[in-house]
Structure formats: C-alpha cells, structure tokens
Structure 1
Amino acid sequence: MYRNMAFFRNKLLFCLLLFCLTPLVFSHSVSRHYTPPSVTPLTNLFTHVLIDEGFSTFFGGSNIKIINNGSMAAIALDKSSGSGLISRNDYHYGFFSAAIKLPAGISSGVVLAFYLSNANKYPHNHDEIDIELLGHDERNNWVLQTNIYANGSVTTGREEKFYFWFDPTAQHHYYSIIWNVHHIVFLVDNIPVREFPSTGAFSSVYPSKPMSVYVTIWDGSDWATHGGKYPVNYKYAPFVASMAEMEMTGCMSNETVLPNSNSCSKTSHSSSSRSDPVYGQEFVSLSEQQITALQWARSKLMFYSYCKDISRFKVMPSECK
C-alpha cells in the first residue's frame, strides 16, 4: 500500500512538474509568432513590373524561370550555380519591393538577396542597400539581415539582424526598400524594421549615387554561417525561391523608363523634385503608425545591431554615438 502511495505521489509530482514546464517550452517555441501592428500598406500604391520587362539575367540563367506571363519568377541555387536578376535600369531614389517565398526545409548557408548596388559602375566607390535573407540558423529558421554601404566603405558594414514573426517559406511576403533624400527604410510586409536617416551623423555614409536593383540566390557558406560552420548541404538542392509582385518605382537615371517611373533628372541629394514618386509625405518621414510598428519590430525581433557590437568596433561608427 505504501509503495503504491509513493508511486502515485511521484507520478503526481511528475505531472505537476510537466504541467508547469509545458507553458515555458510552448512559449519558447512560438515566442516570435507575434501579431504585428496595423500599418498603411505602401505596396498598394504602385503598379507591378513584369519581371521579364524590368529585369535581365545577372548570372545563372539556366536556374531562372519566368512564369505566369512574366508576373512571377523562380530562381534557384544548386551545386552547379546560383542565379540572379538585375534591373534593366538604374534608379536614383525610389520604392522597391518584391513578394518572395523562400525555400523550405534545411537551408543552412543559402542566401537570397534583394538589394540595390552600383558596384558595377563604381567598383572602388560603390553604394549598396541590402535585404539579405539568411538560411543559416542551426534550427533552420531564416533570418533577415539589412545592411548599408556608401562610397566604398565596405570595411564598415552596418548590419542589423531580425527574426521573422511568420514562416517565410509558407507563402509570399513583401520585402521593401524606401530610398530617397530623407531616409532609407527597410520594410517587411509593410512593417518598418529599420530607418537610416540621411541627416546629421548619417549624411557622410548615406548612399547617394544611382543604383541597379538585384535579386540573387547563392551559396553564402563562407560568411553567412559563422565561418562555414553550417555550409550548404546540396543533398537538399535545388533551393528554389519564388518572386512576384515586383515594384520598382523611382527616378530613372538612364533613358529607358518603365511604367509608373520617372526620369527625375533634377532630383539631387539635397533637394527633392515633385516629379519624384517617393516625394510625398508618406515617404518623407514615418507616420505615427509606422513609428509604432518600427519600435515593435526592433524591440521584439531585432537580435543584432552593429551599433552594439563593441567587440567588433574599437571606435563605433559616428552615427552610433
């Protein structure tokens, strides 16, 4: 009898302990499944660009498939090559957006980048605005990294990293960049996650030359996975990303002008032209609604900022002070 009582007492204690621990385990596994604040969807303001009209092949043409009459594209990484697209035009400020669905499954070392750059024209003095989607997490969760370079300052990356509040492999999600004379804003599903002003300490490191738009997928094992700790496992290849609802609306710096775009030849870094499609108040500064969403994203989802990396910088970049 006492033996049975001891058995039931121990079982009860075990069940109570399991009951107490279960919420902790559960909350950890879904801790980033937040409901984001409501924001005005800027992606609804502009028309979509047909991918085969707005882009040409950058590399890996055999791994690029244009589908749905040019409204969608699939780009892939396999053991032979990655792949990528480059815009047919250069832009000096604008709104740039893509709805992207990332490869599912094990994706360590895979990098998908949606970015602006002029390294092809200014190899020693280039600018760059990056959205990099990194599949290197040991739990196979994708990570969002944003970065900015200006005037060839490639030795000082300005990275910030975020977790997602959704599964980026389940369906398409919007990844967007605002770039104008006032600021650079990175957005995910229209939620601002980072703002980089062009004034004050930021002005000397602010991208200011026309850039092309790129979408690429490639093997980033050497740098995106802690020095190759989690390299790409090509047993799971090909890694295929899907893109749709491309938007490239801004000041064109060359002769060919896409629908819903402008030449904006008079727009400069110090003044904004009213023909610039990102001149309106919704692009000059963040609304109160967007500021709330930005604070939410940075408090809930950001897990790395270069401005807090004292082991990396003996002297912090000027804008961090």
Structure 2
Amino acid sequence: MCSNLLNIMATFLCVIGLLLMSNLSNAQLSPGYFPSKQVAPLSFDQGFRTLWGPQHQKFQQGTLTVWLDRNSGYFSAAMKLQPGYTAGVITSFYLSNNEDFPGHHDEVDIEFLGTTPGKPYVLQTNIYVRGSGDGTLIGREMKFHLWFDPTKAFHNYAIFWSPSDIIFFVDDVPIRKYPRKSDATFPVRPMYLYGSIWDASSWATENGKYKANYNYQPFVGEYRNFKIVGCNSGGPCRLPKVSPSGSTKLSTQQVSSMQWAQRNYLVYDYCSDSSRDHTLTPEC
C-alpha cells in the first residue's frame, strides 16, 4: 500500500495501529506523553491506494488484511502480525522516495522480522540516505524485542520525521531518536508511506538461517487505525506535538522511557557493531 497523501518532506508524523495484539506489560515505563491521541484516524481509502496484489487483500470493518503466499510479490498496505512459523517473512511500513529517485532513494523503516515458534519477533528500525539498493546501500539498523507479544493485541507504531530528528515510537514510548548531524546522514527529500509483507528469506530470520516455509502459508498481516499528518517543506503546517514542550526535544520522562526500552529490549545497534565499517556511518 502506498499513501497518496504523503508527498511529505521535512516534518512528518505517522501513527499506524499495527494490529499487533497484546496487553501492555505492567513493567512498561510510561512515557508520560501520548502524541498519537492528537491525531484522528483515516480510512484506508482516504490515505492509501493499492500498488500491487489486490487479490491478496481484503478490507472489512475498518481492518485491512494482507497476505503472502507463493503467488505474491511485493505488496503495499499497513499491518497485523500472526503467531507460529513466520521465518523469512517481513511485515513492514516505511517511508521511501524510490518512486521519485530510483537507485538513489531515501528510506525510513519499521520492519517486523518473522520468527520461529517460541522465539520473539524482532522489530527493526532502519534509515537509508540516498541509497542505491544494489549492494552499496548503507543501513542504520537498530533492532528490538518488545515488552509484549505483538501477536496478542493491537499496538501503535509511529515515525516522527522533522527537519532535526527522526523518532520511532511503540505505543507512544520513544524507542529510538536519530538526530540530524549532517545533511549527508539525514533524509530531507519528500517521501511516500508504504506498507508491505514480503519474502526476505536470505536475511530476515537469524541472518537467513530460517527461510520462509510455504507449508505455513498464507502469512497474514492486518492494519487499521491509520493516522497521518504531514507538511510540505516551507508550507503552513499544524502538527501534533511530539513532546510536552511542543518541540522535538523529548521530556525527561520520555527520555527515561526510551532509555528503559533500549536498556531492556535493544538487541542490535549498528553503531556498536565492530564488524561494520564506521567510516560509512560517521554519525556513530
């Protein structure tokens, strides 16, 4: 799925109710502030269009369901995770401008990496800047487990994109803040919003150890509660506040909740990976 509305640039808030099911753990540290409550949801038809695979989707009672089987390729829409064997399968939503800048695009990703029974999903956040997608693309991955089972209930996942920061949220808890340290390491060109479910067997689950197994097909994702607010660069705009101060500076409580999430649930940080060539990621 692709958002028609989002020829969006420097300031962007997207909240998608990924139909990832579960009750919030009592151990969660409250962020103290809830940006998602300031944005009214859109219907799918208001904000999105199907790019490919209409035979692999249905929309019913406010929920978009998409699925992957042997007849599926790339699909765009918003999401819901399923339990069981999902290795090799990625369910995602992301910002990209590949339509406008093929071979030289920017991207901001939230991706759920499929798993095997008994092991948790991995939530991967990633940022590409002027990437080519031909093997020279430089990822900036941070991966998390979650403090709930995302197959048990719906949860909100959000990207906030401003001229100075990109912030990722899970149920309004900030889990990652990526500051603009230079123009070379920060996406500034307009992007569209996409959702997809696709086969990434070569790397998605334990670096490709477990592949998509179509004996378990279809692999299903469901989406609802779409919330999109965006501004064109330089134009008038009224966005929800991302923090009590109204700026991109998180409150003390929000910072504490982000530190809590990273201390307890962060499982990979590209800046801490000694096998990476950090001359390619100078922001580290």
Q: Relative to 1, partners in 2 of residues 1:266 and 1:62: Cα closer, same or farther, differing over 3 Å?
A: same
* Equivalent position to 1:246, from 226, 237, 242: 226
Matched residue type, 1:224? A
Tell me, in whole angstroms, the C-alpha distance in 2 between the residues paired with 1:43 and 1:291.
Answer: 17
**Residue number in structure 1 paired with 2:282:** 318
3-state SS of 2:130 partner = coil
Tell me, in whole angstroms, the C-alpha distance in 1 between the residues paired with 2:50 and 2:271.
36
Structure with the greater relative contact order (CA < 8 A, sep ≥ 6): 1 or 2?
2
**Residues 77-104 of structure 1 deviation map (CA, whole Å, 9 limit, x = unaligned):** 1121155336xxxxxxxxxxx6x43111
Which one-letter code corresponds to 2:115 in the other structure? H
Counting only pairs closer than 5 Å after superposition, residues 38-57 of structure 1 correspond to structure 2 as 38-39=30-31, 40-57=33-50
In structure 2, the partner of 1:290 is: 254
Highest Rg: 1 or 2? 1
| Structure 1 pair 143–183 and aligned structure 2 pair: CA distance change class (3 A) | same
SS of equivalent to 2:255:
helix
What is the CA–CA distance in structure 1 between the aligned matches of 2:278 and 2:81, rounded to whole Å? 36
* Equivalent position to 2:160, from 158, 170, 178: 178
Q: What SS is found at the alignment partner of 1:319?
A: coil
Q: Which residue of 2 aligns with 1:231?
A: 211
Map Cα deviations across residues 203-234 of structure 1 (whole Å, 9 max, x no partner): 42111011110110011101213453200111
CA-CA distance at 1:292 after TM superposition: 0.7
Q: Distance in 2 between matches of 1:247 and 1:240?
A: 21
Q: Percent identity?
A: 39
Alpha-carbon deviation of 1:236?
1.2
SS of equivalent residue, structure 1 residue 194: strand
CA distance in 1, matches of 2:86, 2:40: 32
Partner residue in 1 for 2:70: 79
Q: Deviations over 1:242-292 (max 9, x none)?
A: 1110111111xxxxxxxxxxxx4524xxxxx5x241577445221112101
Structure 1 equivalent of residue 130 of structure 2: 151
Report the CA distance shift for 1:298/1:130 in structure 2 as closer, same or farther (over 3 A).
same
Aligned counterparts, 1:108-257, within 5 A = 108-136=87-115, 139-152=118-131, 155-198=137-180, 200=181, 202-251=182-231
What is the rounded CA distance, in whole Å, between the counterparts of 1:311 and 1:34 in structure 2?
Answer: 37
Task: Figure out how many residues of one structure are paired with residues of the other and give that number.
Answer: 254
8 Å Cα contact 1:250-1:278 kept in structure 2: no
Deviations 1:81-138 (A, max 9, x none): 155336xxxxxxxxxxx6x431111111110011000011101321100001001357
1:124 alignment partner, SS class: coil
Listed one character per residue, the Cα deviations across residues 29-48 of structure 1 (whole Å, up to 9, x for unaligned) are xxxx6721112221111010
Aligned Cα RMSD in Å?
2.1
- TM-score relative to the length of structure 2: 0.83
Q: Which whole-Å CA distance do the structure 2 matches of 1:279 and 1:191 have between them?
A: 14
